[in-house]
Structures are given as structure tokens and as C-alpha cells.
């Protein structure tokens, strides 16, 4: 019996040493970064910059694989179903971690199936009118919206710009005829072309339509550092109306599958610190907002804030999935 126990203990110790050695050598091969958006958009551009910077830190290629479509579920599940070995990373976003799980049955749990590493790319929304609109201020817009039922352009029902518009309508007692135009660029083009009276788009949307649209207010409670870069002098709802609620933001970052060994998670966290540096931020397109949050606990808290924020708005729209 003693011989069996000694043999078992020796085998266990050997396995532990082998696993520790394997983790210590991580990474030994290319890493895949799964992105649930099509190539070319801001999420993809930032993911590729993340991959390039991580590759330099880790010493192996970090290859971006785009898996758009299917309400982000196929991309998300490809990471859930991959080994928990640190060689498959996920570019998480509000749709994959918040909106989609809140609005339908999904075969994954963002808070249980992933370890979030950081949040970086960020976007808040603003209310825009055409350059020739009679509404010069947000207060004038409120008066006009109460007298006339205006058409409101958003990208998709249930998407953050739509949720911002709904939250604004609820807070200020307004009603709109909402028109979904599929993408934020299409929404802004629809505003310029007269398809809608007003539109909600990201703060950085101004760069592609400068001179054609005007921001009236930033739909956020807080003033974030990139607002002054994108929309200098434009008030937030929180600044102009402290008693009103506004704060449907967009964050995104990278996550790894739950169960990944701590040593590997620590290496990824150490490598990813470069993504919060001023040098990295300066490499981003000017149309990208960036709000750096690092570490699983802090990022999990941020994601939970998003869930708590989105849930009542989606419920008001009749979109919240009742479990």
C-alpha cells in the first residue's frame, strides 16, 4: 500500500512539474485572436493593433481571425470550445458579452466562461442634427421634439445608439419614430441625406461628417478624456442636466477562456499592459475612443455595470430575455 501511495504521489508531482514547465514556456506557438466583427471597422482595426503589440511582447505571432455574423454567437463559442491554454483569445464587446446574452438564449455565460484581461476601445454616443437644422441647442431640440414627433436614426434596434436614444427619450419625456439604418455610417449618411431628423451615433462619428452634421449633446453622465479631442466644448447630459441619467457606453477588449492556468493569464496580463501606454494610444485612429481598464476583477465590474445599465432599457423595449 505504501508503495502504491508513493508511486501515486510521485506521478502527481511529475505531472505538476510538467504542467508548470509547459506554462513557463508559454507561448510556444502562434496565438489566435477571434474577432466577431467583419474586417475593416474600428473594432477590427483596434484588434489588429492589439495583436501586433501583443506579438511584440510575447515573441510569437498573434493572428486575427474574423468570424462575423450569427449575432456574435459563433465567434464567441469558437473560443468557449477551444482549449483553455491561452492560445485562443477573444475580442469581447457589448454585443457578445451584454446585449446578445440579455436578449436571447445563448449557449455561453460571459461571466463564467471567460476571464477578461482588459477593456480599451471605448465609445460614447452623441445626438446629432444636420448642419442646417433649426435646432442650435439641445434645449431647442427638446422643445421641438415635444411639439413634433421627429424621426430618430439609429443603427440597429437594441444596439447601443438605440439604447442611448431610448434612455434620452425616457429621461426627457420624448417620443420618436425610430428608423434603423443598419450601421452607424449609414445612420449618419441618412441624417445628412434627410432620411431622419436627428440621429444618435458615436462621439467619433463626427470625423467622417464634419461640416455636414452638428452634435447637440454627448449622451453620457461623465466627461471622458477623449470627448475634448472629438467634440470640444460639447456638454454631456450629466453636465447640463445633473438630475438626468445618460450613460450607454461601448467598451471592448480581450478575454481568455475560463480555466486557463493562472501562470498563462499572468503572462497575458503582463504583456497587455503595453496597450494602456501613451505610445500605444497615440497609434490609434483618431476616430477611436480609448478608456483603459486592466485586470479581471476591474473589467468584470465594468461588464457587470453594462449589464445593469442595459437590462432595464432592453426590458422597456420588450427585448429582455426572461430566463
In the prediction, which pLDDT does 316 show? 84
Q: pLDDT confidence of 141, banded at 50, 70, 90? A: very high
What is the b/e burial string over 294-314, where b = at least 16 CB atoms within 10 angstroms of the residue's CB?
A: bebeebbebbeebbebbeebb
The CATH class for the domain spanning 125-240 reads alpha beta
Tell me which of 196-200, 222-226, 242-246 is least confident.
Answer: 222-226
CA-nearest of 249, 255, 306 to 50 is 255
In the prediction, which pLDDT does 128 show? 97
Instruction: Say whether pLDDT at 259 is over 70.
Output: yes
* Nine-digit cell string for 15: 505531472
What percent of the chain clears pLDDT 90, i.e. is strictly above it? 63
Beta bridge partners of 89: 33, 256
- 286 or 135, which is more confident? 135
Q: What is the 3-state secondary structure (H, E, C) of the chain?
A: CHHHHHHHHHHHHHHHHHHHHHHHCCCCCCEEEEECCCCCCHHHHHHHHHHHHHHHHHCCCEEEEECCCHHHHHHHHHHHCCCCCCCEEEEECHHHHHHHHHHCCCCCCHHHHEEEEEEEEEECEEEEEECCCCCCCHHHHHHHHHHCCEEEEECCCCCHHHHHHHHHHHHHCCCEEEEECCCHHHHHHHHHCCCCCEEEEEHHHHHHCECCEEEEEECCCCCCCCHHHHCCCCCEHHHHCCCCCCCCCEEEEEEEECCCCHHHHHHHHHHHHHHHCHHHHHCCCCCCEEEEEECHHHHHHHHHHHHHHHHHHHHHCCCCCCC
Mean pLDDT over 307-319 rounds to 88
Beta bridge partners of 32: 63, 88
- 104 or 8, which is more confident? 104
In the prediction, which pLDDT does 24 show? 61
- 183 or 216, which is more confident? 216
Which of 14-18, 53-57, 310-314 is most confident?
53-57
Rounded mean pLDDT of the chain?
88
Report helix angle 42-58 to 262-272, nearest 10.
110
Task: Judge contact between 107 and 73, C-beta under 8 A.
Answer: yes
Instruction: Say whether pLDDT at 287 is over 90.
Output: no
Instruction: Say whether pLDDT at 26 is over 90.
Output: yes
The CATH class for the domain spanning 2-123+250-316 reads alpha beta
Query: How far apart are the C-alpha atoms of 305 and 274, rounded to whole Å?
Result: 25
Task: Judge contact between 251 and 291, C-beta under 8 A.
Answer: yes
Q: What is the location of CATH 3.40.190.150 in the chain?
A: 2-123+250-316
Q: What is the location of CATH 3.40.190.10 in the chain?
A: 125-240
Task: Judge contact between 161 and 200, C-beta under 8 A.
Answer: yes
- Label residue 136 exposed, middle or buried (CB < 10 Å: 0-12, 13-18, 19+): exposed
Which tens digits make up the pLDDT trace of 203-239? 888 888 889 999 999 999 888 777 877 888 999 999 9
Amino acid at each position: 500500500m505504501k508503495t502504491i501511495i508513493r508511486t501515486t504521489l510521485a506521478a502527481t508531482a511529475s505531472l505538476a512539474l510538467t504542467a508548470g514547465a509547459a506554462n513557463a514556456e508559454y507561448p510556444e506557438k502562434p496565438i489566435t485572436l477571434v474577432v466577431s466583427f467583419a474586417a475593416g471597422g474600428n473594432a477590427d482595426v483596434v484588434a489588429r493593433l492589439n495583436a501586433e503589440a501583443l506579438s511584440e511582447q510575447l515573441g510569437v505571432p498573434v493572428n486575427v481571425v474574423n468570424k462575423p455574423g450569427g449575432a456574435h454567437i459563433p465567434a464567441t463559442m469558437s473560443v468557449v470550445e477551444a482549449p483553455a491554454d491561452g492560445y485562443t483569445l477573444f475580442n469581447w464587446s457589448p454585443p457578445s458579452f451584454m446585449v446578445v446574452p440579455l436578449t436571447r438564449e445563448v449557449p455561453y455565460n460571459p461571466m463564467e466562461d471567460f476571464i477578461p484581461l482588459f477593456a480599451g476601445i471605448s465609445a460614447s454616443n452623441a445626438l446629432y442634427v444636420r448642419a442646417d437644422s433649426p435646432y442650435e441647442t439641445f434645449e431647442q431640440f427638446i422643445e421641438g421634439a415635444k411639439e413634433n414627433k421627429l424621426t430618430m436614426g439609429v443603427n440597429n434596434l437594441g444596439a447601443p445608439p438605440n439604447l442611448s436614444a431610448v434612455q434620452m427619450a425616457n429621461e426627457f419625456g420624448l417620443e420618436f419614430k425610430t428608423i434603423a439604418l443598419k450601421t452607424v455610417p449609414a445612420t449618419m449618411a441618412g441624417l445628412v441625406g434627410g432620411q431622419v431628423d436627428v440621429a444618435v451615433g458615436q462621439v467619433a462619428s463626427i470625423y467622417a461628417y464634419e461640416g455636414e452634421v452638428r452634435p447637440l449633446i454627448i449622451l453620457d453622465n461623465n466627461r471622458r478624456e477623449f470627448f475634448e479631442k472629438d467634440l470640444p466644448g460639447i456638454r454631456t447630459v450629466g453636465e447640463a442636466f445633473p438630475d438626468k441619467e445618460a450613460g450607454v457606453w461601448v467598451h471592448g477588449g480581450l478575454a481568455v477562456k475560463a480555466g486557463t492556468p493562472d501562470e498563462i493569464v499572468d503572462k497575458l496580463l503582463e504583456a497587455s499592459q503595453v496597450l494602456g501606454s501613451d505610445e500605444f494610444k497615440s497609434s490609434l485612429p483618431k476616430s477611436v475612443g480609448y478608456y483603459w481598464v486592466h485586470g479581471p476583477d476591474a473589467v468584470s465590474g465594468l461588464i457587470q455595470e453594462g449589464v445593469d445599465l442595459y437590462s432595464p432599457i432592453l426590458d422597456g423595449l420588450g427585448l429582455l430575455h426572461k430566463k
